[in-house]
Structure 1
């Protein structure tokens, strides 16, 4: 009986930890999007979540750790949107282009601009080195390798092509996020990206 009670208590504690983390991430996401990372007050943020600074430090270490958690959450949502975009493609090559363009287009969204493309790189470092970008690179490389093997693409080095394609999409998004006229830059960036990518076709 004691063992069963202990298991129930442990599950309840884990649930409470997850609820606390979710509240903090939600409050931080709102604050970082509206005010920016630097201007967001940890006291205001934790108060908005109905929690203390101690809860923030216990769960995330510091403000930077909280930003990392917010970035991870948004990144997961972006990846899902990219996956949905490529599902409508007639083939893998078109799918790769559609998901790349979807990623570039997301740079127009204020939350993604501020958190993922402006504050994230400034605080967490080069986004091309983030774990999610590394996983994305490996996936792109795998798709390109298959397209090279089946004759869709020219016989180029798959890793090199993946790094250049992913780098072009990332830099297009960073350019859009920092632009005075993001819509105008989006059109130019997408057109140039597609021309560059099409150069890989056999």
Structure 2
């Protein structure tokens, strides 16, 4: 009896190949860094041809951007998932703080999103990616906690707090006291809410 092989659609094969390239790129970018990673290493690690790489991505920088977007989306998903059942805005901000820092502890993520991403893509591109993925979560939380629509002042506060979160993630990844950073971030958020 002949067993019929399940055939994957072109869309499935395309998605699988793209995912393999992103996974291989991610691993090499976090172990070697962007500059030291070559496209031949990427295609070898992904077990695809060089033509496949350039079919999916214009160049190494485009692949790197895709890795950054994927990492940013994972952070946003972690925050959204953790805060989904929160019953108050204050609880969501508190829970979201822990979710962000937990998500940033994924090996290599801090380097990708906070060190190499801005260096390779530039701050404007990173800001755009942040707005597309997780960037609005602080402003949404502040808006809910303060009971008013976001305005330019709230957006500025959100950016400043976001910088504090990034600094905390960097310091924790370098061996800083996780509990202290979490407590201080939560204290800053509580003061931001009570002071407005």
Q: The TM-score by the shorter chain falls in which range?
A: 0.7 to 0.9
Unmatched 5+ stretches in structure 1: 1-10, 150-154
Is residue 33–residue 111 contact of structure 1 (8 Å, CA) maintained in 2? yes
Give the direction of change, closer, same or farther, for the CA distance of 1:178–1:53 in structure 2 (3 Å limit): farther
| Contiguous gaps of at least 5 residues in structure 2 | 1-7
Give the alignment's TM-score, normalised by structure 1: 0.75
- Which residue of structure 2 lines up, in the alignment, with residue 50 of structure 1? 47
**Cα contact 2:24–2:46 (8 A) shared by 1:** yes
1:89 counterpart (81, 86, 96): 86
- Partner of residue 75, structure 1: 72
RMSD: 2.9
Specify whether residues 78 and 176 from structure 1 end up closer, same or farther in structure 2 by C-alpha distance, changes over 3 A only. closer
Which of 167, 172, 179 is the matching residue for 2:165? 172
* Corresponding residue of 1:197: 189
Secondary structure, aligned partner of 1:145: helix
- Structure 2 distance, partners of 1:139, 1:78, is 11
Q: TM-score, normalised by structure 2?
A: 0.77
**2:22 and 2:66 in contact (8 A); partners too:** yes
- The structure whose RCO (Cα within 8 Å, separation 6+) is larger is 2
> Are the counterparts in 2 of residues 24 and 49 from structure 1 also a CA contact under 8 Å?
yes
Distance 2:75 2:149 in 1: 28
Structure 1 Cα separation of the partners of residues 70 and 132 of structure 2: 16
Q: How many residues align?
A: 186
How has the CA–CA distance of structure 1 residues 175 and 99 changed in structure 2, closer, same or farther, with 3 Å as cutoff?
closer
